[in-house]
Structure 1
Amino acid sequence: MTRTTATLIGFVAVLLWGVLALLTVGSAPTPPFLLNALCFAIGGTLGLVWTAASGGLSQLRVVPVQVYVMGTLGLFGYHALYFSALRLAPAAEAGLIAYLWPLLIVFVSGLLPGETLRRGHVFGALIGFSGAALVITGGATGFDASALPGYMLALACAATWTAYSILSRRFGAVPTASVAVFCVASAILSVPLHLMLEDTVWPSGTLGWASAILLGLGPVGLAFYVWDIGVKRGDIQMLGTASYAAPLLSTIVLVVAGVAAPSWSLALAAILITGGALLAARASLKVRPNSKVG
């Protein structure tokens, strides 16, 4: 598999995260942690079935325990912190802080062996962040000091996903099938939080169950497997910058579905995010030519 192919596979995760908001809306009124448990259970179970069918279960037995702990904390921790942040702070501002993770990935990945951080990566990520800010903040009126605990949780959320992605790169020899175990463990951990903090409300009707199942198959399932391939074998800096397309795609999907209204800020965000990604891609091409990565 070439570096470019792995990067493109990783970008599939960004495309899947683009429908996360629409499917989440469709799954209402199921509370977050119950939805988390359902989706991770679906994604994890399918991953284990695929691993068994391909004869890869034996690989899972030799994966170090610390890798399973790291992966579970990454997937479960990110979502737990994100949901908690949105309960304690305005959604737009908390979401913007949480979406610092692509920028952090670009910066921190420059410290990894074999990686080079160029000005194009930095400027591309900053331009992409400005575009994402336009989408995420929407009609936000400013940061509220009383919501500081929520903002801090959102920052911890961004740091968690950054650490998960960077450490996945460091454990490049660990098979992607291990993500199935991360998902199942995350589903199990979501159950007690649901029982402690939420009322049990199952998805409603065909639309609700279809949305929950599709979430488990895509944005909270397949996305983690292809992201693992991308950050381990692809251009992690390019992926970081390109990830700003997720909130843009999410908003476009909501507009097409009639849930949100189109705006000039959305068009400007598209220009900024696309421009930032192109700038980062140009910088990546200067660093190294396409090569085999395994």
Structure 2
Amino acid sequence: MFWFGLYMVTLNWGERYTDAGTASLVVGVGPVLAAILAAVVLKEGMPAKLLAGLVVAFGGTAIVGFASHQGESTVGGVALCLLAAAGYAVGMVSQKPVLRHATALQATTFGCAVGAIACLPFAGQLVDDVATAPASATWSVVYLGLLPTALAFYTWAYALSRTPAGVLGATTYVVPVIVIGLSWLLLDEVPAMLALAGGALCLAGIGVTRLRSGKGN
């Protein structure tokens, strides 16, 4: 419900009413919320290096968002993106204990099925949209469902079963860096120096969360 229903729907809905920079900034709150929930609910604690890394990485995301800010954003759009961030946090923390009893493939498969059931109220609109949309748009949605959703969430679940939720959540701050690189490579969109600086901060923050602590660790 939270991963494949609430998060997916509110993120796409919110991005219709916010520019890309603002959306990435607001959704970037998700890993911070996940780390807090993991510390409280899963008793993972909040190590200083994790907290410091989250702060640095979120700062980098904020800079990237500011550098890519274009157009206007509505209050409703921002609220939907914030709701998506909350859905991300709750979904990830809830999935962690499930993976003690199910494989990553099982958790992802059932998650997709439950998300599909939760989205059934949109089925009528889907039929109408498919009937009128160009084939390229339909195949693009199929691609989004198979790779960035099914495959990505499977590999995520696999990693989550072997990594603390708070630490793994922090790694999602590498996404703005990948987006900058792919936009530069595939779309010939030369990033601003501010965006590059923000990307470097994201990587630095992730590096901080991965620092080893204690002798022999």
**Closer/same/farther in 2, CA of residues 212 and 113 from structure 1, 3 Å limit:** closer
**Greater relative CO (CA pairs within 8 A, separation 6+):** 1
- 2:69: which partner in 1? 140
- 1:204: which partner in 2? 135
- 1:242: which partner in 2? 171
**Closer/same/farther in 2, CA of residues 267 and 94 from structure 1, 3 Å limit:** closer
Correspondence 1:25-64 to 2 at 5 A: none
The amino acid that maps onto 1:152 is: A
Q: Is the 8 A contact 2:21 2:70 kept in 1?
A: no
Correspondence 1:228-239 to 2 at 5 A: 228-239=157-168
- 1:85: which partner in 2? 14
Identity percentage of aligned residues:
22
Structure 1 stretches of at least 4 aligned residues deviating more than 4 Å after TM superposition: 141-144, 287-290
Q: SS of 1:233's equivalent?
A: coil
The amino acid that maps onto 1:218 is: L
**Closer/same/farther in 2, CA of residues 110 and 188 from structure 1, 3 Å limit:** closer
Say which of 80, 85, 107 aligns to 1:153.
80
- 2:116: which partner in 1? 187
For normalisation by structure 2, the TM-score amounts to 0.83
**Closer/same/farther in 2, CA of residues 194 and 132 from structure 1, 3 Å limit:** farther
The amino acid that maps onto 2:129 is: D
For normalisation by structure 1, the TM-score amounts to 0.63
Q: Is the 8 A contact 1:116 1:287 kept in 2?
A: no
- 2:213: which partner in 1? 286
Say which of 55, 78, 89 aligns to 1:162.
89
Tell me the alpha carbon deviations over residues 65-99 of structure 1, each in whole angstroms, 9 at most, x when there is no partner: xxxxxxx3421110111122123344432332122
Q: Is the 8 A contact 2:10 2:80 kept in 1?
A: yes
Q: SS of 2:44's equivalent?
A: coil
The amino acid that maps onto 1:169 is: K
Q: Offset at 1:193?
A: 1.8
- 1:107: which partner in 2? 36
Say which of 175, 198, 204 aligns to 1:275.
204
Structure 1 Cα separation of the partners of residues 133 and 188 of structure 2 = 22
Q: Is the 8 A contact 2:61 2:176 kept in 1?
A: yes
Q: Offset at 1:188?
A: 4.6
The amino acid that maps onto 1:250 is: V
- 1:264: which partner in 2? 193
Q: How many residues align?
A: 213
Structure 1 residue runs of 5 or longer lacking an equivalent are: 1-71
Say which of 236, 253, 264 aligns to 2:182.
253
Q: Offset at 1:264?
A: 1.1
**Closer/same/farther in 2, CA of residues 117 and 195 from structure 1, 3 Å limit:** same
Q: Is the 8 A contact 1:105 1:162 kept in 2?
A: yes
Q: Offset at 1:181?
A: 2.2
